[in-house]
Chains A and B, each alone.
Chain A
Amino acid sequence: MKFDDKVPIYIQIKNYLYHQILTGTLQPGDKLPSVRQLALDVTANVNTVQRALTEMLSEDIIESQRGKGNFVTTDVDNIKQLRNKLVNEQLTLVYQELHALNLSNDEILSEMKSYMESRDEQHE
């Protein structure tokens, strides 16, 4: 995994796992790789991976089963909340940036629409 050296590694590991959960690579109830395996997968050290997992445990996104390891929560509401939180973060950024350029809500919507249409064309 390619890290951005300016951003704390534990945060980047959390985002990496969030993505796996939200895109379904890791399904509700799936077992996470061991801490050492995750460290190898992303090339970070075990303490940093552990810190990321500890935070995800306290966020109730993963659950720890004694002696068995960590599992993705089966509470889909928690996953839904996580999705909303991440989507909200990205929207906040775009909204603030575009407002700072003096775009009105209607302008943001129409710019967004035409941008998405041009992106879709490029993909075809």
Chain B
Amino acid sequence: MSDLLKIENLIYSHSLKNILHDVNLTVSDGKIVGLLGENGAGKTTLMRLITGSAHGKGTITVAGTSKPAERKSHVSFTEHLGGLSSGMKVGKVFDFYQSVYPDFNIARSNSLIEFLDIDKNLKLSALSKGMKEKLIIALTLSRQADLYLLDEPFGGIDSMSRKKIINSILKWKPEESTMIISDHYVTEIASILDEIVVVKDKTINCHKQADEIREDNDMGIEEFYESLYEGGKQDD
């Protein structure tokens, strides 16, 4: 096991307002990490800082490199489909990704499209919320990256789609790669997490092994997460 992601003394401000400060985080390879925090806590910002689409002070190293341009090539993060024309067909989006990313794996992409029942003939504007999330997962996992970032992939989708998305993560995430999944409701993904990282009060409030929480605190992940907001209960 080696350090795949290392964040040191990261500070990020926007319009003179401090968003994140003193962020230090080390995650090793081959993990699935839950990035938890309330809406607006800075989870998406942290993901954008990791890929290099936002810039802060401090050092972020992914797979041994801290240069933003190089770092980007190690990270698969489908930030928003908003940049693409809403009249674009889903099949064209896959073609576009294949032409842009040298690490795009066509065989895996086809398996994902089939498994998630993605209709390549639909226009982006015609996609339901669940379909959109499935498309994002398929695009993200189609790349052979070291680090995968999923930003709230379960927002407002039905339980069948959720199961499919979770299964596609378990099925296609390369073994040595690490995945960070952000969510503000942890129960739905608790069983597949190795670790949780909580963003609170503009910094990393806690970073723990999921099974250690269950073993040491005799509580569930959701319960532990909620206890952090009740104040005065955490032990570190």
Asked whether any CB of chain A lies closer than 8 Å to the CB of B190, the reply is: yes
Which of B192, B218, B223 is within 8 Å of A44, CB to CB? B192
Q: How many A-B residue pairs have CB under 8 A?
A: 53
Task: Report the stretch among A6-14, A21-29, A90-98 that lies at the interface.
Answer: A6-14
Asked whether any CB of chain B lies closer than 8 Å to the CB of A15, the reply is: no
Q: How far is the CA of A46 from the CA of B190 in the complex (A)?
A: 14
Q: How far is the CA of A67 from the CA of B127 in the complex (A)?
A: 44
The DSSP consensus for interface residues of chain B is helix
Asked whether any CB of chain B lies closer than 8 Å to the CB of A104, the reply is: no
Q: Do A5 and B211 form a contact, CB below 8 Å, given A44-B192, A45-B192, A47-B194?
A: no
Asked whether any CB of chain B lies closer than 8 Å to the CB of A16, the reply is: no
Q: Do A43 and B191 form a contact, CB below 8 Å, given A5-B222, A6-B219, A36-B171?
A: yes
Residue count of chain B within 8 Å CB distance of chain A: 25
Q: How far is the CA of A5 from the CA of B211 in the complex (A)?
A: 9
Q: Please tell me if the beta carbons of A48 and B220 are within 8 angstroms of each other in the complex.
A: no
Asked whether any CB of chain B lies closer than 8 Å to the CB of A112, the reply is: no
Asked whether any CB of chain A lies closer than 8 Å to the CB of B170, the reply is: yes
- List CB contacts (< 8 Å) of A34-93 with chain B: 36, 39-40, 43-48, 51
Q: Please tell me if the beta carbons of B30 and A47 are within 8 angstroms of each other in the complex.
A: yes
Which of A10, A36, A43, A46 is within 8 Å of B211, CB to CB? A10
Q: Please tell me if the beta carbons of B170 and A9 are within 8 angstroms of each other in the complex.
A: no
| Residues of B participating in the A interface, judged by any CB pair closer than 8 Å | 30-32, 163, 166-167, 170-171, 175, 187, 190-194, 210-211, 214-215, 218-223
